[in-house]
Amino acid sequence: MNNQTRKRVLLFAEAVTLAHVARSVKLAEELTKTGKYAVGMAADARYDHLIGAVPWQRMPLFSISSDFFLRKLATGQPMYSLDTLVRYVNDDIAAIEAFKPDFVIGDFRLSLALSCTLKKIPYATVTNAYWSPYLDMRYPVPENPLVDLLGVKISDIIFQFIQPWAFKLHAVAFRRACKHFGIASFASDMRETYTHADFTLYADVQSLIPMKPLPNNHIFIGPVLWSTRAPLPVWWNAIPKENPIVFVTLGSSGESSLLPMILKTLSTMPVTVMCVTADKAKLLHTYQNCFTAEFVPAEQAVKKADIVICNGGSPMVYQTLIESKAIIGIPSNLDQYLMMAALQKAGRGQLIRAGLAKPNLIAEAVGVALSEKPLPLEDKPILAIDKITGLIDSL
């Protein structure tokens, strides 16, 4: 099948965290493997050093800075202004006109709901089911200044009251952007800005996330996992095997300030530690049982480990579930809390609030993980790429 007859698929990744880019890379890899599609990917270049050379067309794309995004996320403020969304839509359209796709797939590139409507291109968004308007679970209060001031219990009561209004606030800029471009508004709250598309693809294990009945165009495709091509650290083959191995990775959106405390706690336990700093944490102390690197291929690290301590985000959670290893999640933002709340309810992971994380809680959780074998999941956590190719081929 030559380039003239193959359908053209363009992926967009919002590079505010590595996770969105990583999922897009994985989908590009899988679609390219089929040999049925001409694949392109538009994304900011900030993670290119981890991606390396790829066999599909790369296109530049502006994204707000990761630091700006994470600051907004931590304080519960809307991430995108009208001006930013207008720029995003114009940039999206430029990429679409240059590549001329038959089908567009976006990962947290929320502006595509407008761009693809304007260009009349079929559009699928990849997201997590816990952001769906059809989610059937309670929203836990994330870390925020109110929690620091009033504590978790009182803050949670307040959060449950203001959450519907806060979600509506996050959709204001999108409603204004729709008006700006002459499109009927689709976003009454944040969940609809996250999930609105011709097809909404949930990168989750369906049995893990409690949902209300879904429309036919909302589809579980399973976890979309990709591991960095970073080389193995020099110490990889020298790690002793006589003690259980704990893999510590708080990721690009985790509370990296906790890392020194976690490593100090683990230094007193009969474990060996592999730690990823992600170029965020400056470690002033090293320990005899701890091996550190800026990046480590997650897939191989999880295979090697007995326990994973992470920020509770879906990529590392699902990577760990695939290998049936124990998970300790230390979430800080709402995305991570939603993932870990579902996991804990399923009896498949331990949640420690980032704002309450202390040495005794870390040590206790590791002790539990060492003594209890993880429960198996009802569904196998694998990507059903055929569900995506089926959508593309049907159009």
Q: What is the DSSP string of 267-294?
A: HTSS-EEEEE-TTT---S---TTEEEES
376 inside domain: no
Q: Cα(first)–Cα(last) distance of the chain, in Å?
A: 18
Rg over CA atoms, the chain: 21
Range of the domain at 77: 7-224+382-394
Same domain, 145 and 51: yes
Is there a single domain that holds both residue 170 and residue 295? no
128 falls within a domain: yes
CATH number of the domain where residue 330 is located: 3.40.50.2000
- Whether residue 321 is contained in a domain is answered as yes
Instruction: State which H helix or E strand residue 166 sits in.
Output: helix 152-169
Tell me if the pTM is above 0.85. Answer: yes
- Residues 96/123, Cβ–Cβ less than 8 Å: no
Max CA pair span of the chain: 65
Q: pLDDT value at position 74?
A: 82
Distance CA 146, CA 128 (A): 26
Q: At what angle do helices 314-322 and 18-34 cross, to 10 degrees?
A: 50
208 within some domain: yes
Same domain, 300 and 156: no
102-147 per-position pLDDT tens digit: 999 999 999 999 999 999 999 999 999 999 999 999 999 999 888 9
Q: How far apart (Å, rounded) are the C-alpha atoms in residues 341 and 346?
A: 9
For position 380, what pLDDT does the model report?
A: 79
Give the per-residue pLDDT at 173.
97
Predicted confidence (pLDDT) per residue in 241-295, tens digit: 899 999 999 976 667 889 999 999 999 999 999 999 876 556 767 899 999 998 8
User: Are both 50 and 162 inside the same structural domain?
Assistant: yes
358 shares its domain with 387: no
Examine the domain organization and report whether 217 and 273 are in the same domain: no
pLDDT the model gives residue 73:
87
Say if 182 falls within a structural domain: yes
Whether residues 90 and 196 fall in one domain: yes
Flag whether 367 is in a domain.
yes
Could you tell me if 70 and 28 lie in one domain?
yes
State the residue for tokens 């309670």: 138
* Tokens coding 304: 């090697």
On whether residue 231 sits in a domain, the answer given is: no
Q: Do 193 and 100 reside in the same domain of the chain?
A: yes
- Helix ranges (H only) for 182-332 are 190-195, 259-267, 298-304, 314-322
DSSP state of 238: G
Does the residue 230 lie in any domain? no
Please check whether residues 282 and 337 belong to one and the same domain. yes
Length of the chain measured in residues: 395
Report yes or no: 33 and 21 within 8 Å, Cβ to Cβ: no
Number of domains in the chain: 2
pLDDT for the residue numbered 286: 82
Whether residue 241 is found in the same domain as residue 213 = no
Q: Tell me the C-alpha to C-alpha distance, in Å, between residue 192 and each of 51, 85, 110.
A: 30, 15, 10
- 18 touches 225 (CB < 8 A): no
Ordered mean pLDDT values, 10 residues apiece, the chain (395 residues): 81 96 98 98 95 95 96 90 99 99 99 98 99 97 92 96 96 97 93 98 97 98 89 94 96 78 97 85 80 92 97 96 96 96 95 97 97 82 96 95
Name 10's bridge partners: 40, 104
Query: Quick one: pLDDT at residue 30?
Result: 98
Looking at the fold, whether 367 and 386 belong to one and the same domain comes out as no
Cβ neighbours of 394 (radius 10 Å)? 7
The residues, any chain, with a CB within 8 Å of residue 214's CB and separated by 6 or more, are 132, 134
pLDDT in the model for residue 256: 82
